[in-house]
Amino acid sequence: MNNSKEIAALVSLLDDPDQMVFEQVSAKVLSLGPAIIPTLETQWEQSLDSFLQERIENLIHQIQFIAVKEALKLWAISGSFDLLNGFISVARLQYPDLDEQKIINQIDAIKRDAWIELRYDASPLEKVKILNHVFYAVHGFTGNTSNFHDPQNSFINNVLESRRGNQISLAIIYAVVAQRLDIPIYGINLPQHFVLAYLDEGQEYPQISSGEANGILFYINAFNKGSVFNRKDVDHFLKQLNILPDLSFYNPCSNIQIIKRVLRNLISAYEKQSNLAKAEEITSLLTMLLEIEPDKN
């Protein structure tokens, strides 16, 4: 259905009182995807019927959610190589019209400022010191300790604007900047915390899937101004939580695992707000990613 008059006629049927007719029309509207949203918005603006407006709002939301789900699925089954792309897809849950190029430009600005200060012969610790200065002192990123469970902490556009985020959102941005500078810093999926690891330059990514946790020079806490710690500190942290050590707590995780962690944070945040509908939607995204890459027991 490419004819604009046919689309307009279809949309005009959304106020039909017959539920069966409405469901048939809705299914057709949903099948047309994001391209029909401008027509729906025009219909909403021209209508004085609050009932019809609510139906249109719900349809627009469903179309946008389906688009996010399809984008995230494509990202995952295509290799999930670009962590930034996956994180941007999550942000479209709340900000469907998000300006992706603006986000890329903001990331590149941080990268550029760090690149200017980096020396070729700098040691890994010196590189992290420079990254920390640029990330926290120059650009002002910090953990949102006053409103830690706010869902906004998980949306990259909001974190880049406010310079406030949670453990995983700050770690993702930090890691993305580092990797664009060819600095081998990747995510570590610790229980109740998310940190980063600086890999030995010769260590291949995406992850160490078996054997001992080697190839890790040190760990980084992006939520705590990029503080550096070692494996013994991880051991101590797990002991405090009364959790038995597991290789997955020491080794880099996949990008899909990182985005699953972001989704779990969002589910928890919305449940705390009693926004169960939103939590249920995001749970469906998490379920989809679990089908593509199940959690390891």
pLDDT in tens, 235-260: 999 999 999 988 889 999 999 999 99
Q: 4-77 architecture in CATH?
A: Alpha Horseshoe (1.25)
pLDDT (0 to 100) of residue 15: 81
Of 224, 241, 260, 233, the C-alpha closest to 145 is 224
Examine the pLDDT at 225 and tell me if it is beyond 70.
yes
pTM, rounded to two decimals? 0.91
pLDDT (0 to 100) of residue 202: 62
CA 102 – CA 99 distance, rounded (Å): 5
- Rank 6-15, 20-29, 162-171, 211-220 by mean pLDDT and report only the highest: 162-171
CA 174 – CA 177 distance, rounded (Å): 5
pLDDT (0 to 100) of residue 144: 94
Of 2, 50, 1, 51, the C-alpha closest to 22 is 51
pLDDT (0 to 100) of residue 206: 42
Token pair of 66 as six digits: 């389906």
pLDDT (0 to 100) of residue 209: 39
* Domain residue ranges in the chain: 4-77, 83-292
pLDDT (0 to 100) of residue 207: 41
